[in-house]
Amino acid sequence: MVSAGDFRNGITIEYEGNIYQIIEFQHVKPGKGAAFVRTKLKNIINGGVVEKTFRPTEKCPQARIDRREMQYLYADGDIYNFMDMENYEQIGLSADKVGDALKFVKENEMVKVCSHNGNVFAIEPPLFVELAITDTEPGFKGDTATGATKPAVVETGATVYVPLFVDVNDVIKIDTRTGEYLSRA
């Protein structure tokens, strides 16, 4: 159990039958009346964000989130297959559970599979990936003064905006959280 007075960013709690992660919290002591804790909570199952207030003495059970390192094997229609490298156990997840988490992940790369009480709710890709560009327009000479970008399709099929000097078959580094180009690899 964690009391509302001990809330910190990133803690996951069980509240009203749902699992929430604390995004923001603020201890408020009004001039008159009792103190309270104002929070922004993100539902880790459906991604919805709600704002709730708690008394500092209120307690919530802390949710245990398991993150297992697994290898992404392949996609078979709407089923994505993963393998645990320790015991070689394989699981298949539907496209709605995976979402667009694998937008920048190639086959045979390692990802983190997040679950609560055995129910998988999210896939965490590596923070940075290196992918080759399969299709992009040529950059035009003289357009470089503005720091212009152009769309490029990487080998996973995702589109990334890259500087004009990047060309087909270049390998680039991408931040998977934002989908931004970082550098050439």
Give the domain CATH number at 87: 2.40.50.140
Could you tell me if 136 and 177 lie in one domain? Answer: yes
Could you tell me if 73 and 111 lie in one domain? Answer: yes
Could you tell me if 56 and 83 lie in one domain? Answer: no
Span 64-110, pLDDT tens digits:
888 888 998 888 888 888 898 888 888 888 877 777 778 888 888 88
Say how far apart CA 118 and CA 19 lie, in whole Å: 14
Q: Please give the residue that has the higher pLDDT: either 71 or 142.
A: 71
Could you tell me if 44 and 89 lie in one domain? Answer: no
Full residue range of the structural domain in which residue 45 is found = 2-60
Residue 80's Cβ-count burial label (10 Å; 0-12, 13-18, 19+) is buried
Residue 178's pLDDT band (cuts 50, 70, 90): confident
Question: DSSP code of 138?
Answer: P
pTM: 0.68
- Our measurement of the distance from residue 12's CA atom to the centroid of its chain's CA atoms, rounded to an integer in Å, reads 15
Tokens of 178: 């934002």
Cα–Cα nearest to 113, from 98, 103, 102, 124: 124
Could you tell me if 11 and 51 lie in one domain? Answer: yes
Span 15-65, pLDDT tens digits:
888 888 888 888 888 888 888 989 998 888 777 889 999 888 888 888 888
Decide which of 60, 93, 110 is a domain's last residue.
Answer: 60
How many domains in the chain? 3
User: What does the H/E/C string look like for 40-97?
Assistant: EEEECCCCCEEEEEECCCCEECECCCEEEEEEEEEEECCEEEEEECCCCCEEEEEHHH
Which pLDDT value is given to residue 184?
80
pLDDT at residue 143 is higher than 60? no
Say how far apart CA 58 and CA 15 lie, in whole Å: 11
Cα–Cα nearest to 179, from 149, 147, 141: 149
- Our measurement of the distance from residue 183's CA atom to the centroid of its chain's CA atoms, rounded to an integer in Å, reads 21
